[in-house]
Amino acid sequence: MNPLDAADPLSSYRDLFVQFPDVTAYLDGNSLGRPLASTGERLSTFATEQWGGRLIRGWDEGWMEQGQLVGDQLGRVCLGASSGQTTIGDSTTVLLYKLVRAAVDSQKGRTEIVIDRDNFPTDRYVLEGIAAERGLTLRWIAAGDVTAERVADVVGPNTALVVLSHVAYRSGYLADVPAITAVAHDAGALILWDLCHSVGVVPTELDAWGVDLAVGCTYKYLNGGPGSPAFAYVREGLHDLVQPIKGWLGSNRPFEMGQGYEPADGIRRFLSGTPPVIGTLAMQGMIDLIEQAGIGAIRTKSVALTEFTISLVDELVPDATLASPRDADRRGSHVTIDHPAFAALVPVLWERGIIPDFRRPSGIRLGLSPLSTSFAEVELGVRAIAEAL
């Protein structure tokens, strides 16, 4: 056993995930987390017992509240959000659209949205679309790490909203949420944080930091499965915002089937259609595990895993360029390294059961999910990359 694994207080959690012998190093937990070994049974039991047994009665017996309950637990365990502000629903893209529209539509007279060129495509595309349809201007932060100083350079009295990622999807740069949030607020702007690449692995204190809005996905470090629904956080003081997709399940009294949409009180008004109950099942097991292990302990192991990765890359793959921060305080839970040969190399690694992520044109992204990734796995992966080069 790798001595780092022997000393790791979280090492035993790895046994709770599905493992196949042909996958010798799974280093893509930041794209798609592994299923828990219990997930299959959770899904099949739900289908047979709950769906099959309770049938339509299930909606009155908990399904309708599932998204808010899981949201509250996620808020408590991972986000630093007190209850009533977080819900599960839709996809990250759709929630982004709804929250950004709700935010900019409420900021009368402010005509600009700030975003960075290195933000994830969906964030950029959604904002470009909204800017075009609402007659707003996008103010771009040029590619590179998003610091408070760089945000301060572009916000101003016209800024309606700032949209940034907590952890950059490519570099893994970890933005200083409280400092940047304060900069946005000093300009009178609202701020929305995309937590896709941090939720479940880097703790946040959304309430304490005064964050206005956040979205994130659940299939990375929350292990919700391919295409599982996303989550939204809207701080309590903004529950008078109105989002544009006015569906029955965001309305005040959906089962009255009445004339005229009236938004529900609270976080539920940000929902639209029928809650994705089956899609929300798998993440529940992982959020339970995170609660048990503690997000602080997870962050500690995450830092140790990325430090170990970087030291191995320095030693074994010196020709690769480190595209992630060396400062652990500014780094999420993945490490990206670049080399012109990587595009050709990744399919060969995948064939051999060494599974990192690839980001064009030349990046290998090593995503480390503390409860399911061992130090031995990291070493095997980096050694395989070095050998294949």
Environment class of 298 (CB within 10 Å of its CB; exposed 0-12, middle 13-18, buried 19+): buried
Instruction: Answer whether the bond into residue 361 is a cis peptide, omega within 30°.
Output: yes
Q: What's the closest the beta carbon of residue 361 comes to its own copies, in angstroms?
A: 9
Catalytic residue among 34, 220, 235, 331: 220
Count of Cβ atoms closer than 10 Å to residue 292 Cβ: 11
Nearer to its own copies, 81 or 115 (CB): 115
Scan residues 160-219 and list those touching its own copies (CB under 8 A). 170, 217, 219
Q: Which residues pair with 159 in a beta bridge?
A: 112
120 is catalytic: yes
Contacts with its own copies, 10-29, as mask; x by CB under 8 A: -------xxxx-xx--x-x-
Return the range that interacts with its own copies (CB under 8 A); candidates 155-163, 203-211, 275-283, 310-318: 275-283
Residues 200, 223: Cα–Cα separation, whole Å: 9
Cβ neighbours for 292, distance < 8 A, ≥ 6 positions apart = none
219 is catalytic: yes
Q: Using CB under 8 A, which of 138, 148, 152, 278 touches its own copies?
A: 278
Residues 228, 39: Cα–Cα separation, whole Å: 13
Residues 108, 368: Cα–Cα separation, whole Å: 42
Scan residues 56-75 and list those touching its own copies (CB under 8 A). 56-59, 63
Nearer to its own copies, 157 or 226 (CB): 226
- CA 7 to each of CA 4, 121, 307, 312: distance values in angstroms, whole numbers, following the listed order: 5, 39, 15, 18
The separation between the first and the last C-alpha atoms of the chain, rounded to the nearest angstrom, is 26
Q: What's the closest the beta carbon of residue 324 comes to its own copies, in angstroms?
A: 17
Query: Is position 117 an interface residue for its own copies (rule: CB under 8 A)?
Result: yes
Backbone angles phi, psi at 19, to 5 degrees: -130, 135
Q: What's the closest the beta carbon of residue 296 comes to its own copies, in angstroms?
A: 27
Sheet of 112-116: strands edge to edge? Answer: 86-89, 230-234, 213-216, 190-194, 159-165, 112-116, 137-141
90 is catalytic: no
Q: How many helices (H) and strands (E) does the chain have?
A: 12, 12
Return the range that interacts with its own copies (CB under 8 A); candidates 54-62, 72-80, 153-161, 291-299: 54-62
116 is catalytic: no
CA-based R_g, the chain, Å: 21
Environment class of 328 (CB within 10 Å of its CB; exposed 0-12, middle 13-18, buried 19+): middle
Return the range that interacts with its own copies (CB under 8 A); candidates 106-114, 172-180, 221-229, 325-333: 221-229
Q: What's the closest the beta carbon of residue 339 comes to its own copies, in angstroms?
A: 18
Q: Using CB under 8 A, which of 25, 74, 81, 126 touches its own copies?
A: 126
Cβ neighbours for 274, distance < 8 A, ≥ 6 positions apart = 249
Q: What's the closest the beta carbon of residue 260 comes to its own copies, in angstroms?
A: 7
Residues 236, 305: Cα–Cα separation, whole Å: 36
Q: Using CB under 8 A, which of 2, 24, 83, 93 touches its own copies?
A: 93
Scan residues 224-263 and list those touching its own copies (CB under 8 A). 225-230, 244-249, 251, 254-261
Number of residues located near its own copies, criterion CB under 8 A:
86
220 is catalytic: yes
Scan residues 34-53 and list those touching its own copies (CB under 8 A). 34-35, 37, 39-41, 43-48, 51-53
Q: What's the closest the beta carbon of residue 123 comes to its own copies, in angstroms?
A: 9
Nearer to its own copies, 98 or 299 (CB): 98
Environment class of 26 (CB within 10 Å of its CB; exposed 0-12, middle 13-18, buried 19+): buried
Scan residues 291-330 and list those touching its own copies (CB under 8 A). none
Contacts with its own copies, 341-380, as mask; x by CB under 8 A: ---------x----x-x-xx--------------------
Active-site positions read 120, 194, 219-220, 365
